[in-house]
Amino acid sequence: MKAFALLAPDSHAALVDLPDPALASDGVRIRVAAASINGFDVFEATANLVRMMEHRFPTVVGRDFSGVVDAVGEGWEDVEVGDEVFGFISSQPPLEVGTFAEIVSEGPRLVLAGKPPAVSFIEAAAIPLAGSTALDSVDAVHPGPGDSVLIVGATGGVGVFAVQLAAQRGATVIATAKTGDEEALVRSLGATDTVDYANADLVATIRERYPNGVDALIDFVNRGDAFGPVADLVHDGGRIATTLGAADVDALAARGVKATNVGGSPTHDKLAMLAEAVEAGTLTVPIQQTFAFDEVEDALAAFTAGTLGKIVLVI
């Protein structure tokens, strides 16, 4: 099979031919239709994770996928050959199996859900990590009607889901977005206020518009020294979620702020719920661009250059 894989610790990933993987006795084998790009994949492909996490070579890059079940091992009661599915391979080390490949075969690290017929393979492949991380982030700040929620990084793969999920719970969503296509997209997803972070000082702008502070912050961008001033925009007693491990939970608790460092964790139930929402038309999956599998390096470069929604590889 064709796969995008690291062959050794000191080289970047490349498109290579690998033997078709056998079905693990406790696994499922899937012919991959599409796979989406996440930040983790960029780090993995450029060998930046080699010193941090155990790898088994060849190490196939990629976590999200959609496809068709090809073979089923023991213990998978609800899965049959021919099922259209989508899912996620967790990054629990050792890293070895990935989804930027024509065939994926995995057991314990596989999170799987059925793909509703009305959801395309491309849409389904874009959902798992970004959609679950958005859901976990929104759940962490549990917005309700009338709450103001500032979402920083609202135009990215995770952000475009988070804007919708927070707005659907009745919150007033304030989204970072450059004027033009970015602003139009987040407003179409439910944001009612935007800040052009490229042309305005985010902290000063929010202070001026929300002098009493916002009720909640979901931050997909800031870490280190950049995080503190943004976190200070949340009034005492508010809520914060960050996907970058940026929150000092105890320090924020001292002023009554409930902060969560979110580790996005796709599960069958989250994927099923998100796919049902897409099928019902209550959740959209903004796709910035699709790339053919041969263009995988271009897809990673596009992700690094900047995102407006999800980038998907058609395998």
Q: Would you tell me which residues interact with ligand NAP (CB under 6 A)?
A: 38-39, 129-130, 133, 152-153, 155-159, 176, 197, 220-221, 243-244, 262-264, 306-307
Residue 154 or 257 having the CB closest to ligand NAP: 154
Pure H helices in 223-263: 227-231, 249-253
Min. distance of Cβ 294 from ligand NAP in angstroms? 23
* CA–CA separation, 231 and 259 (whole Å): 9
Residue 65 or 197 having the CB closest to ligand NAP: 197
Residue 94 or 306 having the CB closest to ligand NAP: 306
Query: Which helix H or strand E contains 31, and what residues bound it?
Result: strand 28-36
Min. distance of Cβ 205 from ligand NAP in angstroms? 12
Min. distance of Cβ 164 from ligand NAP in angstroms? 13
Residue 39 or 116 having the CB closest to ligand NAP: 39
User: Cβ contacts of residue 152 below 8 Å, gap of 6+?
Assistant: 176, 197, 202, 217, 218, 219, 220, 221, 222, 230
For the chain, the maximum distance between any two Cα atoms, rounded to a whole number of angstroms, is 60
Min. distance of Cβ 5 from ligand NAP in angstroms? 21
Write out the E strands in 125-263.
Answer: 148-152, 172-176, 193-195, 214-219, 234-242, 258-261
Min. distance of Cβ 229 from ligand NAP in angstroms? 12
- The residue number whose beta carbon is nearest to ligand NAP equals 156
Residue 103 or 262 having the CB closest to ligand NAP: 262
Token digits for 124? 């389904």
